[in-house]
Every structure is written in C-alpha cells, then in structure tokens.
Amino acid sequence: MTTDEVQQIISYAYPLIQDTIKSEYGSGKGPIPKIDTSHKNTYAMHSGEPEAQGEHDATSIAEYYKGVIYLYLPNIPNEKELLRSIIHEYTHYLQDITPFKTRIANQKYKYEDNPYEQEAHANEEKWKNIWEILNDIHGPGSFENWYDSPAAGYGRTDAIEQVIPAIRHIVKHYNPETNNVGGAVNIVYGLKRSVDKSDALDNLNEYLQEISDRFELGLQDIDLDHDSAWTYASRDF
C-alpha cells in the first residue's frame, strides 16, 4: 500500500470503526485519538530518532500512547492488518488504561493472557464488518468519489480528501439566483445503484451545510434537490 492509499483508507474507515465500537463501549473519556503514521517503528517514535532500531523494530505494528494511535506502516502489509491495528489501538483508548493499570497488568500477566490485550485482539475481528461496509459504500477496492462516504452518512469535515472536492463542488455548482448548490445529476449517476437516493440526499445536504458552516461559505439551507434535479435523476434507478 502507498502512503496515499493508507491515508485514504484511514479517512474512510476510522469513523466507521469509532461508530462500530462505540455501540458497545460508549465514548472514551479523552479526545478521539489522532492517527500518526510518520514513524517507522516504536523505537523511532519514542526516541525521536527516525532511524532508531531495536529488538522489535520489524514487528512493532501499532500502539496507543498518550492519546495518539501510532501506525508503523513498514510493518503493516495490507488493508486487513491496517484495519485490525486501528481497531486494536482504538480499543485500548476506550479501555482508559492508566500507566498504573498497565504496569500492574504487565506484572501480573503474560502478553497473551493480559485481559486488556485479549479484549483488543477479540475486537480486531470487526475488521471484516468495516471492510464490508467500505466495499458496499465505495465498491470493491474503489474509493474514488468524494461524496460516497457523506452520502452514506459518514462524511468528515476534517478529512481533506473529502472536504476539498466538496468545496470545489459547492463553488463550481453554486447558483447565485437561487443561492443554492446544484450538480445533483452527476452525483446521482455516480452513486451505486443500491444506495437509497432519498437517504443519500439528506446526508449530502447535511454534510455540505456542515462544510459551508465550518468554512464560512455563507450558504444556508443547502438542498441539492432545490431544482428537482436530484428527484428527476433518481427516477432512472
């Protein structure tokens, strides 16, 4: 996987992972962890030395440390392990393990017997559900359209690969006469046939409005169907 491919999968999968696990655990006590992929192994991350090495530099895959999920991409071979790693470390965030709890658990248990690790490993199996949802939204191996995730209700205003095309769409299809946004037909035709077009319209209107509000674009009551173009295009499906 290239760095761009990894970042793209993270931007789509991380919100799904949060929603999936939150249904069982609730929300964590601290801010949602950021994901950092800038270090090649745990020794490089902890030392600040990019080329640092150690006994486990080839097997350190990921860790949750001080509110951040670190992914060591050279040791993550594919999408499956990428999703498993994020799920594992996000579980540790929800477990709210203090340094004291960690020290006690490490003294009392071997790694494979540590209940915190057992729980995180068990949650890793949720990667299949996440991957199925991603494939259902985007199509197998395809993450091309900025509107796919927002249409399914998983839009993010902090994911640049979604935000910039969304703003570009608003600017390109802004109608000053109606003070609204068009371009509905291309979106409808770009969505998978199985997508509920009514739900997708509601989700996209909400997402574009969030974009407008966050970046102070000045639009109110965005409706991609203000000219009925969405409704007419949806009749073909």
User: What are 13-70's pLDDT values in tens digits?
Assistant: 898 898 888 777 777 778 899 999 999 999 999 999 999 999 888 888 999 999 999 9
Per-residue model confidence (pLDDT) at position 137: 64
Q: Are 94 and 83 in contact (CB under 8 A)?
A: no
Q: Decide which of 28 and 198 is more confident.
A: 198
**pLDDT at position 237:** 65
CA–CA dist 168, 170 (Å, integer): 5
pTM over 0.85: no
Q: What pLDDT, on a 0 to 100 scale, did the predictor assign at position 96?
A: 72
- CA dist 81 and 30 (Å) reads 25
Averaged over 93-106, what is the pLDDT? 73
Single-letter residue type at 189: Y
**Helix (H, G, I), strand (E, B), or coil: what is residue 70?**
strand
Q: If pLDDT is split at 50, 70 and 90, which confidence band does 111 have? A: confident
Residues contacting residue 216 through CB under 8 Å, at least 6 positions apart: none
